[in-house]
Amino acid sequence: MRGLTDADPDVGPGPTPGRGTLQAAFTAVAVLAALALFASGCGTGGTGARDEGPAHSDSVAPASMSPPASPSATPARVDGVKLVQDDPSIAAEVKRELKPCVGDEYPVDVSYGDLTGGSANDVVVNVLTCGDAVGVGSYVYREEHGRYENVFKVEEPPVYAEIDRGDLVVTKQVYEKGDPVSSPSGEYVITYRWSASGRFTEKYRTRNDYSSVVGEDPTVAPEAS
């Protein structure tokens, strides 16, 4: 009768009791661990760049949400001819010059800008002659209570007024005795600024003398005295 510990010489040793059970247990533990890791990854939304999202995604606003640029203020156009024609302070000589040159084109230059600090743009009007475009009158109109008031005028031709960086600059050509209309001897450039008293005051004055040889024919010898 064989003992429980004696092995049959013709038959190899049998399986160790419980080996299959242990292997099954190890396999089950490994599967459960893998499932736990997978479930943990899904619960946190994945790993790597996917967890953090795109870099700085919360600090870049869509282009469609950017505020639109404010449109630049466009000055309302004013009929400079009518301003002068309806202004009782304008000299009669200037109004006589204010007539169409060609068709319905009047010899009037109109410019807009802030000269007096009002709620609307001021209007500078220059009246010229049709033939040689000589300035015969320069005026500044300021809007007050819904209408334009004349706050500056120069009627000593030739004259021309412009807006330069918030100042009113008036150019008056100077003629010496014998100067033709087309060739003045020089010019005065006068800068005016709006004052707290509600009027333009002179700030600067310069004189520019023109060369007497400009435009002369160098091949023509001067007459002997």
115-150 per-position pLDDT tens digit: 999 999 999 999 999 988 899 999 999 999 889 999
Distances (CA, A) of 62 to 55, 65, 70, 152: 15, 6, 19, 52
Give pLDDT, residue 13.
46
**Rounded Cα gap, residues 30 and 196, in angstroms:** 92
High-pLDDT (> 70) share of the chain, %: 61
Give pLDDT, residue 211.
83
Q: Which residues contact 202 (CB under 8 A, 6 or more apart)?
A: 190, 191, 192
- pLDDT, averaged across the chain: 75
Burial class (CB in 10 A: 0-12, 13-18, 19+), 129: middle
Residue 151: pLDDT band with limits 50, 70, 90: very high
Q: Select the more confidently predicted residue: 190 or 182.
A: 190
Mean local confidence (pLDDT), 31-45: 47
Q: Select the more confidently predicted residue: 68 or 132.
A: 132
Distances (CA, A) of 110 to 65, 82, 97, 127: 41, 12, 16, 9
Q: Which parts of the chain fold into alpha helices (H)?
A: 19-43, 49-52, 80-85, 92-97
* pLDDT exceeds 70 at position 180: yes
